[in-house]
Structure 1
Amino acid sequence: MKRRTVLQLAAAGVLPGLSHAAAQPPLKELRLDYAYYSPTSLVLRRFGWLEEAFKADGTSIKWVLSAGSNRALEYLNANSIDIGSSAGLAALLARANGNPIRAPYIFSRPEWTALVVRKDSTIRSVADLKGKKVAATKGTDPYLFLLRALKTAGLKRGDIEHVSLQHADGRAALEQGKVDAWAGLDPHMAASELEAGSRLIYRNVAFNTYGFLNVREDFLASRPAEVGKVIQAYERARAWTSANPAAAAKILAEEARVSLPVALLQVKLRSDFSNPQPSSEHVKALLVAAPILVDEALVKPGADLNRAITGLVDTRFAIPYITNLKKA
C-alpha cells in the first residue's frame, strides 16, 4: 500500500478491523495499565473516574503498573490487560510483529526521551557515542529514539555497546558510571537532570512518538461501549490535567516518588495534552519513523509496515466520545 493510500484511508477513517458488537452482558472486570510516563492515567486512577463510570454495570477495575512501553505491550499480547499505554513507534513495532492491537486514542504528545550523559562526561554529541556503552530499554521509544539518533551521525546499533536495562535501572547505571550514556525516559530523566546534574546531549521532539492508548483488537471489536467509556474517562482526566498542570504534577510526584520540580518539568514543559484524536498526523509520524524498524531488522522479514500502520491507528472510533465530551 502506497503512502498516499495510507494517508487517504486514515483521513477518511476507512480502516480495517472495526466491527459492531452484539449486545453482551456487563463486563465483570476491566483491566488496564497506569504509567508514570502517562500523567493522565495517574489522574484518572487517583480520582476514581473510571470506577465511577462503570459502577452501574458492576464492572470492577483492575489497574496494572507499566514500567515502560515494552511491559504494556507484553501485557496486551499476553491478554493480561485489555487496554495499555505505550509510545506510538513501540506500538507499531509490536503490531508489525503480530501483537493484535489498535490505538483509538492519544493520551499525550510528549518529549519524554533524549540521550543523557553524566555531568562530568566528555561526550558532547551523538557521534561521540561510537564504541561507548549506552543503556536503553528494548521495545520502547527511548530505544528507538537512540537508533534514530545514531543514524543522524552516520552510526548504527553495532557502533555502540547497547546495554538493555529497564528505564529506572538505566538511570542508576548512568549515574553510577556503569554506562557512558542512557536513552532516558521521564520522570527518571528529569530526576537525573535536576538531582544528579545529568546533561541531555541530543534532543529531538520529532523523534519522540506520541503516547498511544492501545486496545486488544478483539476487545475493541467485542466491547466497543466499554472502550468508549474508557475514552470518555480519559478525556475527563485529560481536560483536568490541562487545566490543572501543577496539581497533576503533584499526583505524578506522589505516585512516582519524585520531587515536585521533576514532575513539573515533565508535565508542564514536556507534555502536550491538546490533541487526543488519532488522525493523519499520527499516521504521518509513523510513516516517517517506520524505516528504522526495517533498517535495524526489528520486524519480521517481509513485514508490511504500511498495513501495520493502518491497522494500528484508528482514526474514527474516538470521534463521538471526544466530541460529546466537548459539547457537554
Structure 2
Amino acid sequence: MTFARGTLHRFFQRSNRRATGFIALMATVAPAFMPVSVHAAPLAELKLDYAYYSPESLVIKRNGWLEEALAPDHTQVKWVLSLGSNRALEYLNSGAIDVGSTAGLAAVLAKANGNPIRAVYIFSRPEWTALVVRKDSPITTLAQLKGKKIAATNGTDPFLFTLRALHTAGLSRDDVQIVNLQHPDGRTALANGQVDAWAGLDPHMAAAEVNDGARLLYRNVDFNTWGFLNAREDFIAAHPDTLAHVLKVYEKARLWIAAHPDETAQIIAEESKVSLPVAKLQLSRNDFSHPQPGSQQLVALKAAAPILTQEQLVKPGTDLNQVIEALIDVKPAQPVIAANSSK
C-alpha cells in the first residue's frame, strides 16, 4: 500500500491528536483504578482488655499511660475486663476489643477455629495455673481424680492444663467430670465442696492458697503456656502506629514492674480486690524477662498442641504447626524492644 506525502502527513496528525486525547483521559480516570498509598486516619477509639492475670495491663490502666500516649492522636481508650482467656478471645473474635490478653495455647485453639488474631507481645512467662484441692482433701495423686468433678473454664489455659495433666496419669477427659465454671466461681465451688478439684488461675488460685489453705495437687510450669498479647489481624494492618504505642506502653510497664515490685503488688491487690500477700504470691510466679514472641513460644506451643487433636478440640486434619506459625508475629515488638535494649 502506498500513500501520497500529504495523505501520510494528515494520517499522523490525526493519530497524534487521538493519542494526546487518550493520554489526557487516562490522566483523569487513572486515579480511580490505580492503587495508591493511603495512610489510615488516627483511630477514634482503641478497645483493649485488662485482666487480673496480666499485671502489665493493671499497671498501665492504673497509671493512664496509654491515654497519655494516644492523646496527640485524639484516640479514646476503652478498657474491657477479661475474666479469662475464653472471654478475651470471644471479645477479639467479635471485634469488641482490638487487643487482648490470653494464654498461648488458648490462642492456638482459637486461631485454629477461625479467630483472626496474631500474638504480638509476651506479657509474662507465668506459672498461673495448677490443679487445686481443699486442704482436707484425701486426694493426693492425679490418678485419684478418676470419676471426680473438676472445675475448669473451657477454652482457657487451666482447662488445657487439666487435660495435659490427666494424660500424664493415663486419664482423659472422659475419665472425669469437668464442670465449666469461670475462674472465681471454680474457687467458690471448690471451697463449698461442690467439686473435688479446681483448675486454678491466679490471683484466685493464690487467694485460695493464702485464705483457704487450699493445696496445689499438681504443678507443672511447662504446662503453663505463655501470656500472649494478641491483636486482631485487621487492626494490625490498619493501625500499625497505634499498635506500636500499645507495645511501647507495655514495655514501659514491664520495666516498671521489675523496678517496683512492691508498688506492682499493691496495684494488683487493689485492682483484683485481693490481699497484699495474695498479690505478692501471684507476682512471684511471673517471669517478665522474655517479651519478644519467637522461637521459645513456637517450641512450647508445638509441644503442647497435640492435646488439642487428642481431645478433638479442633477439626480433623488441622495443621496445628501451621496455625502456630501463623499466630506468632515477631515483627511488631522488635523495634520497641530493641529501642529499650539500646538505652
Tell me the TM-score normalized by structure 1: 0.92
**Aligned residue identity for 1:53:** A
**Aligned residue identity for 1:101:** I
Name the structure 1 match of 2:218. Answer: 202
Which digits, 9 at most, give the CA deviation of each residue in 1:84-114, with x for residues without a partner? 0000000000000000100010000000000
Greater RCO between the two (CA within 8 Å, min separation 6)? Answer: 1
* 1:259 counterpart = 2:275: yes
Name the structure 2 match of 1:122. Answer: 138
Name the structure 1 match of 2:68. Answer: 52
Equivalent residue for 2:288, pick from 253, 267, 273: 273
- Aligned-CA RMSD value: 0.9
Task: Provide the secondary structure at the position in 2 that maps to 1:124.
Answer: coil
Superposed, which structure 2 residues align to 1:132-171 within 5 Å? 132-171=148-187
Name the structure 1 match of 2:50. Answer: 34
Instruction: State the number of aligned residues.
Output: 307
1:228 CA displacement:
0.8
Mapped contact 1:34–1:42 kept (Cα < 8 A): yes
**Aligned residue identity for 2:154:** K
CA distance in 1, matches of 2:265, 2:233: 32
Which digits, 9 at most, give the CA deviation of each residue in 1:262-315, with x for residues without a partner? 000011x20000110001010000000000000000012221211110110112
Task: Provide the secondary structure at the position in 2 that maps to 1:134.
Answer: strand
1:316 CA displacement:
2.3
Identity of aligned residues (%): 64
Tell me the TM-score normalized by structure 2: 0.88
Name the structure 1 match of 2:317. Answer: 302
Equivalent residue for 2:201, pick from 166, 185, 188: 185
Superposed, which structure 2 residues align to 1:209-220 within 5 Å? 209-220=225-236
Q: Structure 2: where are the runs of 5+ without partners?
A: 1-36
Name the structure 2 match of 1:224. Answer: 240
Which digits, 9 at most, give the CA deviation of each residue in 1:181-211, with x for residues without a partner? 0000000000000101000010000000000
Name the structure 1 match of 2:331. Answer: 316
* 1:79 counterpart = 2:95: yes
Task: Provide the secondary structure at the position in 2 that maps to 1:109.
Answer: strand
Larger Rg: 2
Which digits, 9 at most, give the CA deviation of each residue in 1:12-52, with x for residues without a partner? xxxxxxxxx84111110000000000011000101111001
